[in-house]
């Protein structure tokens, strides 16, 4: 009797995160437009993207207790920051408040500090903690490749260290506590924050007033030539696909480099061991429906294995960039986690400063 042919295995459906149909539709449109903007020659159709990227202007008049102003860092490369601050000392709850230098996501190629989504995010962070938030409008790829984004981020630190948040940047009675600065960013912004922290630690003896007290890496964009289990299992997840991330890495990395380049492939014990002593305590945020989560977990494990102070925060039902959408309950929870992290490490920094006799 002839043997029956084996029953073909049914292709497993990509797990679907819980969200409303409206948000699911919005994410589908967002993905379709960004995909359509990618030209075969490796450039982007920024005119098309402009229809999708709704911008918000800075507003020095308080809105729900938060004001914002734009400050130029370097006009020659159009480098600027949007500074969000409590509208008054009373709103700040303290004369000196921490500073968060924030890097937006977008795969190094999309969005800006003026994008409405990120304007709202920074307002929420400023109000909830409270803190002065300096959102960096760094240059974008493919027009500006590695290391332009890292250069911009590091130069913003130098700008702030030299008094860039002085008169006019924040209201009277509210003062930035430069001894309690934090780097934060999501996706590509988390990658930039890591590399800026790395540069900061390499130049630890050259800072006048600025001290990094912590790093918040929200679903940071790391990678490598290897395909991880989560990248394969979550191939149909919202926003992130291997086709998209492969294109973004190619547009960002130097010509001819692969994804094992040092900018992308930081999730190793060797890379963590090379970080300077001044590399700050880190909080790593992971979402259960983010295809990039295996790289992010390896990053956490590499930092922990090298003796760094690092904390892992996981949200099992979170998609990539979940916290940008207030519809997700975890979005509010993350803001509370960030607040707790900032408060804890600000207090720790003050204790260390007092123990050293107030030396900077």
Please, which pLDDT band fits residue 13 given cuts at 50, 70 and 90? Answer: low
Q: Give the model's pLDDT for residue 200.
A: 98
131: pLDDT strictly greater than 90: yes
Instruction: Report the C-alpha gap between 89 and 87 in whole angstroms.
Output: 7
Q: Give the model's pLDDT for residue 11.
A: 44
| 290: annotated active-site residue | yes
| 320: annotated active-site residue | yes
Please, which pLDDT band fits residue 340 given cuts at 50, 70 and 90? Answer: very high
The backbone region for 172, taken as left when phi is positive above 0, alpha when psi lies in -120 to 50, beta otherwise, is beta
Under DSSP, is residue 70 helix (H, G, I), strand (E, B) or coil? strand
336: pLDDT strictly greater than 90: yes
In a domain? residue 14: no
Three-point CA angle 273, 275, 277, nearest 5°: 105
State pLDDT tens for residues 22-69: 899 989 999 999 999 999 889 999 999 998 899 999 999 999 999 999
Instruction: Report the C-alpha gap between 269 and 307 in whole angstroms.
Output: 10
In a domain? residue 324: yes
pTM: 0.93
Q: Which of 194, 261, 320, 345 is catalytic?
A: 320
| 258: annotated active-site residue | no
Domain that holds residue 215: 42-345
How many domains are contained in the chain?
A: 1
Instruction: Report the C-alpha gap between 111 and 131 in whole angstroms.
Output: 23
In a domain? residue 22: no
How far apart are the two ends of the chain, measured CA to CA in Å?
85
State pLDDT tens for residues 254-311: 999 999 999 999 999 999 999 988 999 999 999 999 999 999 999 999 999 999 999 9
State pLDDT tens for residues 228-270: 999 999 998 989 999 999 999 999 999 999 999 999 999 999 9
319: pLDDT strictly greater than 80: yes
In a domain? residue 19: no
Q: Give the model's pLDDT for residue 256.
A: 94
Q: Give the model's pLDDT for residue 54.
A: 93
In a domain? residue 127: yes
Please, which pLDDT band fits residue 9 given cuts at 50, 70 and 90? Answer: very low
Under DSSP, is residue 32 helix (H, G, I), strand (E, B) or coil? helix
Instruction: Report the C-alpha gap between 226 and 220 in whole angstroms.
Output: 17
Which DSSP string do the residues of 247-304 spell out, in sequence order? HHHHHHSPTT--TTSTTT---SHHHHHTS-TTPPPEEEEEETT-TTHHHHHHHHHHHH
Mean pLDDT, rounded, of the chain: 91
Instruction: Report the C-alpha gap between 95 and 329 in whole angstroms.
Output: 31
In a domain? residue 282: yes
Rounded to the nearest 10 degrees, how much is the dihedral formed by the CA atoms of 336, 341, 346, 351? 130
Q: Which of 161, 177, 290, 294 is catalytic?
A: 290
Answer yes or no: are the C-beta atoms of 107 and 142 closer than 8 Å.
no
129: pLDDT strictly greater than 70: yes
In a domain? residue 217: yes
In a domain? residue 274: yes
In which order are the strands placed within the sheet that holds 310-315? 66-74, 79-86, 132-137, 96-103, 175-186, 212-218, 282-287, 310-315
Q: Which of 187, 261, 294, 345 is catalytic?
A: 187
Kindly report the CATH number assigned to the domain that includes residue 200: 3.40.50.1820
State pLDDT tens for residues 65-102: 999 999 999 999 999 999 999 987 666 666 689 999 99
């Amino acid at each position: 009797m002839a043997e029956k042919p084996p029953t073909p295995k049914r292709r497993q459906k990509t797990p679907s995160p819980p969200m409303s149909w409206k948000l699911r539709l919005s994410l589908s449109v967002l993905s379709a437009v960004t995909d359509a903007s990618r030209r075969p020659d490796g450039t982007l159709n920024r005119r098309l993207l402009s229809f999708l990227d709704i911008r918000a202007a800075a507003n020095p008049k308080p809105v729900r207790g938060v004001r914002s102003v734009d400050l130029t860092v370097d006009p020659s490369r159009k480098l600027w920051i949007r500074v969000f601050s409590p509208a008054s000392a009373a709103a700040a709850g303290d004369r000196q408040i921490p500073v968060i230098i924030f890097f937006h996501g977008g795969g190094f190629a999309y969005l800006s500090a003026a994008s409405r989504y990120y304007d709202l995010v920074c307002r929420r962070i400023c109000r909830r903690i409270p803190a002065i938030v300096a959102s960096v409008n760094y240059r974008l790829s493919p027009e500006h490749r590695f290391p332009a984004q890292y250069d911009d981020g590091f130069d913003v630190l130098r700008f702030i260290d030299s008094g860039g948040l002085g008169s006019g940047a924040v209201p009277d009675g509210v003062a930035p506590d430069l001894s309690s600065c934090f780097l934060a960013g999501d996706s590509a912004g988390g990658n930039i924050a890591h590399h800026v922290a790395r540069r900061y630690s390499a130049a630890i003896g050259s800072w006048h007033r600025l001290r990094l007290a912590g790093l918040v890496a929200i679903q940071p964009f790391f990678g490598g030539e290897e395909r991880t289990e989560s990248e394969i299992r979550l191939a149909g997840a919202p926003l992130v696909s291997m086709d998209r991330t492969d294109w973004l890495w190619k547009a960002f990395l130097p010509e001819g480099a692969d994804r094992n380049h040092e900018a992308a492939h930081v999730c190793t014990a060797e890379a963590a061991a090379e970080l300077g002593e001044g590399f700050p305590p880190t909080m790593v945020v992971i979402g259960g429906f983010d295809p990039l989560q295996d790289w992010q977990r390896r990053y956490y494990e590499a930092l922990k294995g090298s003796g760094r102070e690092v904390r892992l925060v996981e949200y099992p039902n979170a998609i990539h960039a979940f916290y940008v959408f207030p519809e997700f309950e975890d979005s509010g929870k993350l803001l509370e986690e960030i607040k707790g992290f900032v408060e804890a490490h600000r207090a720790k920094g003050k204790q260390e400063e007092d123990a050293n006799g107030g030396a900077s």
